[in-house]
């Protein structure tokens, strides 16, 4: 049950954004055992004036960097998260052509009782 948000600079075509969403979904399915059709993802686009990146931590990023934030159940292992990072960078390099240096991912853990996916219920508590 990941909740994903992607931030990126504005100006890319729809097909580029769809490729990011498709790659993220595929990587989550393959590495985090996300169920079929578990797709809760958004993209926000920002003008150049409202989007910054740096080269901290020895990574030379370009203006095409994408910031991906995933909120997941706190049951995922370190190994699953590491596999996600690798697989996602590989898939986004293939399509839409994002350099692995430009795939910036943060995974936040949330306890199952903190989720309501509709009807005002805590389905996983």
Active site residues: 2
The beta-carbon contacts of 109-114 under 8 Å, at least 24 apart in sequence, are 109/71, 109/72, 109/73, 109/74, 109/76, 110/71, 110/72, 110/73, 110/74, 111/73, 111/74, 112/73, 112/74, 112/75
Calpha distance 52→103 (Å, rounded): 14
């Amino acid at each position: 049950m990941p909740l994903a948000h992607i931030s990126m600079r504005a100006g890319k075509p729809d097909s580029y954004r769809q490729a990011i969403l498709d790659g993220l979904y595929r990587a989550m399915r393959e590495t985090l055992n996300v169920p079929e059709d578990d797709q809760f993802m958004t993209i926000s686009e920002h003008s150049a004036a409202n989007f910054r990146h740096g080269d901290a931590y020895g990574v030379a990023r370009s203006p095409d960097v994408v910031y991906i934030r995933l909120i997941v159940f706190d049951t995922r292992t370190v190994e699953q998260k590491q596999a996600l990072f690798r697989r996602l960078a590989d898939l986004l390099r293939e399509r839409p052509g994002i350099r692995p240096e430009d795939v910036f991912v943060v995974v936040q853990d949330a306890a199952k009782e903190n989720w309501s996916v509709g009807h005002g219920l805590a389905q996983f508590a």
